Amino acid sequence: MTQVYARVALIGLGLIASSMAHAMRANGLAGQIVGHAKSAETRATALELGLCDHVYATAAEAVAGADLVVLAVPVGAMAAIAEEIGPHLAPGCTVTDVGSVKQAVIAAVAPYIPEGVQFIPGHPMAGTEYSGPRSGFATLFQNRWWLLTPAPEVDPAALARLQLLLTGMGAKVNLMDPPHHDQVLAVVSHTPHLIAYTMVGVADHLAQVSNSEVIEYSASGFRDFTRIAASDPTMWRDVFLTNKDAVLDILGRFAEELFVLQRAIRMGDGDHLHDYFTRTRAIRRGIIEAGQDTSAPDFGRSPASKPAGAA
């Protein structure tokens, strides 16, 4: 691949940023990669792993001279970071982010983007339950969607350049309106995570079932709930607080569907249950056909699939 950016600054060095660093290096997409993290331990780890050529103690230092800045911090930290880096962004630079919510990020970041700098909000639809700089790997974005929500006035050349980087890392790119993005993500990601957290919490509070039994006899359904519920608590706290309207809307619809299923079970309505499960099963087939998962047993996952160095 051809180099797309001369200097990329990664602000935050967790799963997504570290995976971007691995992917950019593997494909020769960036001349120099620099980074910033609040934690001295994280900064040292990023240098040890070769994620970055230089790591800085402040975000302002990291973005100086960068032609691409990636904000890879929790949504709740976006405004403070944007305010810090705004005066130090180079003319012609592009700023993007990897947040799971877009309207809140735009409201937090856009006021601090100076004239002559392009802000193109983004969201990679990829991840694992692991976090931190050791959790990243170069193939995380392969065949995964990377959604961009640019404003109508964004420079087309800057948008095309960012898309070239993302496809170079293996992602598929689509453009989306920010409110629509947040509604879609409430359905496919945010509410399922909240349900997983809730189900694991319910199991934890069932006095008649010991923790050892919950762990020892976990069937695949509960096991996958625990995998989802192991995700970064800071990130997900911010997601729910910043996309609360869409999440609450989907939770309301979920409660209505759940009530209908409760009634069918109570009334012994097997036909309704069978028809309902047949329709939902078709969605799983569609996900596999779209290449977003595999039909292999246990979703093709195994204990060995854990990223190297992940806790």
Residue 194 token pair: 């909240």
- pLDDT at residue 306, rounded to an integer: 44
144 phi, psi to nearest 5 deg: -105, 150
Cβ pair 11, 62 in contact under 8 A: yes
Nearest to 178 by CA among 246, 94, 252: 246
246-259 confidence digits (pLDDT tens): 889 988 988 999 99
Cα(146)–Cα(129) distance, integer angstroms: 18
Specify the pairing of strand 68-71 against strand 5-11.
parallel
**Is 162 in contact with 120 (CB distance < 8 Å)?**
yes
Where are the chain's structural domains? 5-176, 180-305
pLDDT at 305: 45
User: What is the structure's pLDDT at 190?
Assistant: 86
- Residues in the chain with pLDDT values less than 50: 207, 300, 302-311
User: Cβ(36)–Cβ(12) under 8 Å?
Assistant: yes
The pLDDT, as a whole number, for residue 58 is 97
| CA–CA–CA angle 310, 105, 35 (5° rounding) | 45
Q: Mean pLDDT score of the chain, rounded to an integer? A: 88
DSSP designation for 207 = T
Strand-strand pairing, 145-148 and 122-124: antiparallel
> What would the two tokens of residue 114 be?
């100076």
Per CATH, 5-176 and 180-305 having the same topology is answered no
Closest CA to 75 of 43, 97, 44: 97
* pLDDT value at residue 281: 83
Give CATH for domain 180-305: 1.10.3660.10
Note the CATH number of domain 5-176: 3.40.50.720
Q: From CA 292, how far away is CA 221, in angstroms rounded?
A: 19
Strands 54-56 and 68-71, sheet pairing: unpaired
**pLDDT tens digit string along 148-186?**
999 999 999 999 999 999 999 999 999 999 999 999 999
DSSP of 245-298, one letter per residue?
A: HHHHHHHHHHHHHHHHHHHHHHHT-HHHHHHHHHHHHHHHHHHHHTTSS--SGG
What's the CA gap between 282 and 280, in Å, rounded? Answer: 5
